[in-house]
Amino acid sequence: MFGRETLKKIREEKSKWEKGPLKLVLDKWGERDDMFKTLSGKDVNRLYTPLDIADKDYLTDINFPGGYPYTRGVVPTGYRGKLWTRRQVAGFATPEETNRRLKYLQNEGQTGINIVFDLPTHNQLDSDNPLCEGAVGKDGVPVDTLRDMEVIFEDIDIATISTSLITAGAPIFAMFLALAEKRNIPLNSLQGTLQNDIVSLFYTVHLTRFKLPEMFRISVDVIEFCIKHIPRWNPVSFVGYQIREKGSTAAQEIAFTFGSAIEYIQALQKRGFSVDDFAPRFSFFFNAHNDFFEEVCKYRAARRLWARLMRERFKAENPLSWLLRYHVQTAGSSLTAQQPVNNVIRTTIQALAAILGGAHSLHTNSMDEAYALPSETAVRTALRTQQIIAYESGVTATVDPLGGSFFVEKLTDELEDEAMTILKEVERQGGMIQAVTTGWVQKQIQDAAYIYKREIEGKKRFVVGVNCFEVEEDELPIEILKIDPSLEELQKKNLQAVRKRRDTKLVEETLKKLKAAAESDINIMPSFIEAASAYATIEEMMNMSTCVRCE
Amino acid sequence: MKIRKDNVRVLLAKPGLDGHDRGIYLVAQAMRDAGIEVVFLGLRVTANQVVMAAMQEDVDLIGLSIFSGGHTAIISRIIEELRRAGLDDLPVIVGGIIPPDDARELKRNGVGEVFPPGCSTADIIACVRSLISVTRDASPVLKNHLRQHQENSSVNEPSPKSGNASDDTTNE
């Protein structure tokens, strides 16, 4: 990027600076530490200069926003055109409570919906299954049948707002589609995202009630169905977030997320689709952790690596297939139980990194989440954090304002290289599914998590309020959301009422059809939707759709 | 009767439906590094599995990790089943996303200590050692076994409990 003469001169001057003023200061005062590292353990130099990015070519490696390889963003106007979608996760207690929270967030200026389900629902269990005792509605909304989906979206127009469903469950998606059909909304007008990345969720949050190959095939069926019938829907969102929460490094987060995406690409290609049929609708979900520059560079590196993979390796021709579009959530694992108000500051820095890295939509965590699901006050502050960045900070006025920083460009390069190296290792292990099955991936992440924890405990890393600047706190300075335990009983009663009310014969018929679809090679989604429309429960549907295939 | 064990044995388990296993793996590894023998029972275990494993493995303490929000019901059930199995003395510690009010309630119901996110593994290990030293002569499991055998031949003498009546369970 710089002429040979210029570089030579800079090199000479740098050497003079090192021997002159730098040496003087180092000799007299030294530095705070021998080594400076990013949160993921990458060495950080004292200073970055044009020499660090001398081998880069602006047009091929960085380029303009909206131009390959999209280092500076996929939209030419950045946030000058459209701000990111402010999409707070919501879902707790009951469908009724969740509906109320969604309306509250809409009134407060949220621009997208993001539903999180409780653990029974994630595990495809009915609320009255004994395994679910104490867990119903505790960390998400319980959904047993279409009835619950109807309640969640009461008076909310799913035809105009985009909805994200944080689940790998085809039955939940089927209930959402059944709701749309009931409201006479054409499927091809629906907008939103289904998480659906079972490969990542299998080992990060242990959605392991069914075998991975069974779940993987259903998940590919969902994508196929969306390609054909719901073209504006993102049928999968590859989950880097949970990988990072489990303790991975930034580069591992990129690599393992892409590793999962590659499994889906290959599976869809095997079904006869070309990469341009589906890649434009792939979306991603990344974490925003504490190390500001590492996070900014992670998004820039991921964007470039994805573009290069899609264009060069998978030969995608449609430029939309090259674009990395992603949602970001600030790091839940970075929140501290100690001095919880400090979490607002952490979340702000993380959110700013997400925005300066070019996120397309964002969830900011609430200060109280090291204790419970957020209270209304806490979730409003979290949303306000985004609004202050959007409307007050000025960072949205120009595209990729950190681009061109010697450090940012260098760290972007390093993260891309490291992610690529890990991705190659994944392939050597036989691909992501194989590497997860053998536990190789989990081991890599656990090791990274352990190193991080050791560094904090050895005070090589500082967490304010945890291993430095601690205070004695007798009473929590914030309110904590309490979920009334009687709501679990209410949810069970509502489910049992649906079981009584519904047309049992129709349910049985649709479940039989679902089983037949499961045993054959035809796409399972239409049968899921039929069963959902008949008010079959999530557990009934899931039990019927697995266990036979892929043995 | 004094029967000393040389090594400390801890049962770690993750009851409930959630899959947040980062914490329990870190604790397991730190305990092993500190020379504690860890029996890791895995995720989504039931109360019964915890009690059975505690007996079979003859452990000195049980550590439970739970992030699901369902801790009150789940932990109470485990404590209850431990009591029913005669393992009142077996210390139980809990870690996870647990609000302070719930933590106090768990401790009232017999949990030795509750660790929130961000606590240090050194603190956890120190707590394990102090809780165990109280009953260090023999493991609670072994003591219970011996007591039952003694009870067969002598007058039953109930051991004093630490303040909590066994009917003092949760209101869930």
Q: Report yes or no: A121 and A167 within 8 Å, Cβ to Cβ.
A: yes
CB A314 within 8 A of CB A275: yes
- How do residues B8-61 score in pLDDT, each as one tens digit? 999 999 998 888 889 999 999 999 999 999 999 999 898 999 999 999 999 999
Q: For residue range A278-331, list pLDDT tens digits in order.
A: 999 999 999 999 999 999 999 999 999 999 999 999 999 999 999 999 999 999
Closest alpha carbon within chain B to A121 = B17
Tell me which of B17, B81, B104 to substitute to probe the interface with A (most A C-beta atoms closer than 10 Å): B17
pLDDT on residue A474 = 72
How far apart are alpha carbons A361 and B165 in whole angstroms? 52
| pLDDT tens for each residue of A368-416 | 998 888 898 999 999 999 999 999 999 999 999 999 999 999 999 999 9
ipTM over 0.90: no
Inter-chain CB proximity B69 and A135 less than 8 Å: yes
B25 and A480 within 8 Å at the Cβ level: the answer is no
A485 contacts in chain B (CB < 8 Å): 72-73, 172
> Rounded to whole angstroms, how far apart are CA atoms A204 and A187?
31
In sequence order, which residues have a C-beta less than 8 Å from that of residue A9 and are 6 or more positions away?
A: none
B69–A483: do the CB atoms touch at under 8 Å? Answer: yes
Q: How many CB atoms lie within 10 A of CB A439?
A: 11
DSSP class per residue in A473-510: -SS-SS------THHHHHHHHHHHHHHHHS-HHHHHHH
Instruction: Determine whether the interchain pair B18/A245 forms a contact, defined as Cβ–Cβ distance below 8 Å.
Output: no
pLDDT at B166 over 60: no
Q: In angstroms, what CA-CA distances link A383 with A367, A480, B127?
A: 11, 18, 39
Taking CA atoms, what residue in B is nearest to A486? B172
Q: Chain B contacts of A246, Cβ < 8 Å?
A: 21-22
Give the residue, A545 or A239, on which the prediction is more confident. Answer: A239
- Distance (Å, rounded) from C-alpha B63 to C-alpha B40? 10
- Encode pLDDT of A187-227 as tens digits: 999 999 999 999 999 999 888 778 898 899 999 999 999 99
For position A117, what pLDDT does the model report? 94
Residue A84 has pLDDT above 70, yes or no: yes
Question: Three-state DSSP class for A363?
Answer: strand
Q: Which two tokens stand for residue B106?
A: 């768990």
Partners of residue A336 in chain B, C-beta under 8 Å: 117-118
Q: Do A206 and B25 touch (CB under 8 A)?
A: no
Interface residues on A facing B, Cβ-Cβ cutoff 8 A = 119-120, 122-123, 125, 131-135, 138-139, 204-208, 245-247, 333, 335-338, 369-373, 446, 449-450, 453, 456-457, 463, 466-467, 476, 480, 482-483, 485
Q: Are A366 and A478 in contact (CB under 8 A)?
A: no
**Whether pLDDT at B87 is above 80:** yes
Q: What percent of chain A lies above the pLDDT cut of 70?
A: 99
Map tokens 């009142």 to a residue. Answer: B88
Q: What count of CB pairs under 8 Å joins A to B? A: 104
Residue A370 to residue B17: CA distance in whole angstroms: 18
Alpha helices in chain B (DSSP H): 22-33, 47-57, 71-84, 100-108, 121-134, 140-153
